[in-house]
Amino acid sequence: MALNVLALRKDFPILERETRAGVRVTYLDSTATSQKPLAVIEAMNDFYRQSNANIHRGVHTLAEEATALYEDARGKIAKFINAASARQIIYTRNTTESINLVAYSWARANLKAGDLVVLTEMEHHSNLVPWHMLAAERGIELDFIPVTMDGLLDLDAYRALLKRTPKLVAFTQMSNVLGTVNPAAEIIRMAHEAGAVTLVDAAQSVPHLKVDVQELDADFLAFSAHKMCGPTGIGALYGKAELLESMPPFLGGGDMIKEVHLRSFRPNTLPHKFEAGTPAIAEAVGFGAAVDYLSAIGMDNIAAHEHEITEYALERLEEIPGVKVFGPPARHKGGVAAFTLEGVHPHDVAQILDKDGIAIRAGHHCAQPLHEKFGIQSTSRASFYLYNTKAEVDLLVNGIYKVKEVFA
């Protein structure tokens, strides 16, 4: 079913914003954070107006309502990624914290000096730095699946790495720079055959593609609400129940305990064992509302729309003399177009585009090693979501021609 994008855009108040007189925003930065529909804004507003209270411990009406809303959202999130149980969904602040939870809890309990962790050259810093920190602390070894010059993972090199029997394979399902959608199910299957546990950075995939954790057979999978029409400050870690049960707590404090004595404590059951202190309650409500919103539209419909926009964007960008687009062709990528313009710094491109209300990203996008791989320091990046149109791609292209004129 084709999306009625013009109707959908009315759900997002910010898309009516003028950044300066007569210049309406053209938002092409959803890979950094998505915009929020009224359904999410109103759900959070209603919570604060009607049901605001702390959760789990209170027996009064507001506390019971808040607890129900918080836990109902967890159930929606579990269903959205087809987790077998809501107990397998751990609320975190974001994808970064979810990955750090695995690094601090599972990895520190299971990895020792000399153990190998396999990553990829296209990882976001969030799936690099925690493992660098653990390598410095424990002496674990890190190695990387190479990225080919056309932006795909070298699976032959991955097979060679698996012969070294890694303990963990951690990888992004979709690159935030190249847009590459990696063959996650195949990567996981191969890792399991080699005896490795898997961690999927799904920050860019869950908002844009139908992700089924049981079909993937992922051991851990991390994602954020703010990239999928939800609020900032909340994300989720999915884990297989047996792994989560075996892991020590991540943070200590209230709500993650069953009982506490002066000289000992006993942790709570899943999922609360990993959720210390008062959580982001309103944000969880917003997260649940975002899941409802995306589910009503249909993830297959969203993916099909984004593919159409991305295919069109790549064609138009490649028409522009001096533009180089990075990553694979549209059939292998999501809604991301990272590019350089010959003779112009990416920040200058972004600043000039902004004068016409066109919002893109410029920089290394928290993926410095990937940029080093391609021999560049930074790129300009346009990214697309369910509310973007081909007309906005045309505005981007016209804007790049204006940049060229400025620097002619």
For residue 58, the model assigns a pLDDT of: 84
User: Is the CB of residue 340 less than 8 Å from the CB of residue 379?
Assistant: yes
Question: What is the Cα–Cα distance from 218 to 194, expressed in whole angstroms?
Answer: 14
For residue 71, the model assigns a pLDDT of: 98
For residue 57, the model assigns a pLDDT of: 81
Place of tokens 């974001």: 94
Convert 157-206 into a string of H (helix), E (strand) and C (coil): HHHHHHCCCCCEEEEECECCCCCEECCHHHHHHHHHHCCCEEEEECCCCC
Domain boundary (296, 327, 358) is at 296
Q: Could you tell me if 110 and 246 lie in one domain?
A: yes
DSSP calls for 321-382: TTEEEES--GGGB-SEEEEEETTB-HHHHHHHHHTTTEE-EEE-TT-HHHHHHTT-S-EEEE
Closest-CA residue to 274 (of 316, 227, 236, 326): 236
Q: Could you tell me if 100 and 121 lie in one domain?
A: yes
For residue 255, the model assigns a pLDDT of: 87
For residue 194 the two structure tokens come to: 């080699």
For residue 271, the model assigns a pLDDT of: 95
Residues paired with 27 in a beta bridge: 359
Q: Could you tell me if 161 and 242 lie in one domain?
A: yes
In a domain, 218, yes or no: yes
CATH at residue 314: 3.90.1150.10
Q: Could you tell me if 290 and 327 lie in one domain?
A: no
Convert 280-294 into a string of H (helix), E (strand) and C (coil): CHHHHHHHHHHHHHH
Question: Quick check: is 366 catalytic?
Answer: yes
Rg of the chain over CA atoms, in angstroms?
Answer: 22
Task: Locate the DSSP E strands across 101-140.
Answer: 116-120
Q: Could you tell me if 80 and 25 lie in one domain?
A: no
Q: 263: which DSSP letter?
A: T
In a domain, 35, yes or no: no
User: Do strands 257-261 and 235-239 pair parallel, antiparallel, or not at all (unpaired)?
Assistant: unpaired
Q: How does pLDDT run along the chain (408 residues), one tens digit per residue?
A: 689 999 999 999 999 999 988 999 999 999 999 999 999 999 999 999 999 999 998 899 999 999 999 999 999 999 999 999 999 999 999 999 999 999 999 999 999 999 999 999 999 999 999 999 999 999 999 999 999 999 999 999 999 999 999 999 999 999 999 999 999 999 999 999 999 999 999 999 999 999 999 999 999 999 999 999 999 999 999 999 999 999 999 999 988 888 989 999 999 899 999 999 999 999 999 999 999 999 999 999 999 999 999 999 999 999 999 999 999 999 999 999 999 999 999 999 999 999 999 999 999 999 999 999 999 999 999 999 999 999 999 999 999 999 999 998
Q: Could you tell me if 104 and 231 lie in one domain?
A: yes
Cα distances from 202 to residues 162, 205, 220, 222, in angstroms, run 22, 5, 10, 5
Q: Could you tell me if 234 and 304 lie in one domain?
A: no
CATH at residue 273: 3.40.640.10
Domain limits for position 399: 5-30+298-406
For residue 195 the two structure tokens come to: 């005896």
Q: Could you tell me if 168 and 271 lie in one domain?
A: yes
Q: What angle do CA 212, 284, 91 make, to 5 degrees?
A: 60
For residue 285, the model assigns a pLDDT of: 98
Q: Could you tell me if 167 and 66 lie in one domain?
A: yes
Q: Could you tell me if 363 and 373 lie in one domain?
A: yes
Q: Which of 39, 366, 376, 397 is catalytic?
A: 366
Q: Is 244 exposed, middle or buried (0-12, 13-18, 19+ CB in 10 A)?
A: buried
In a domain, 250, yes or no: yes
Domain boundary (234, 262, 296) is at 296
Structural domain count of the chain: 2
In a domain, 153, yes or no: yes
For residue 365, the model assigns a pLDDT of: 97
In a domain, 103, yes or no: yes
CA 262 to chain centre: 40
Q: Could you tell me if 220 and 334 lie in one domain?
A: no
User: Is the CB of residue 235 less than 8 Å from the CB of residue 225?
Assistant: yes
In a domain, 321, yes or no: yes
For residue 47, the model assigns a pLDDT of: 98
Q: Could you tell me if 189 and 131 lie in one domain?
A: yes
Closest-CA residue to 286 (of 48, 20, 124): 48
For residue 248, the model assigns a pLDDT of: 95
Domain boundary (253, 270, 296) is at 296
**What phi and psi, each to the nearest 5 degrees, are found at residue 108?**
-70, -20
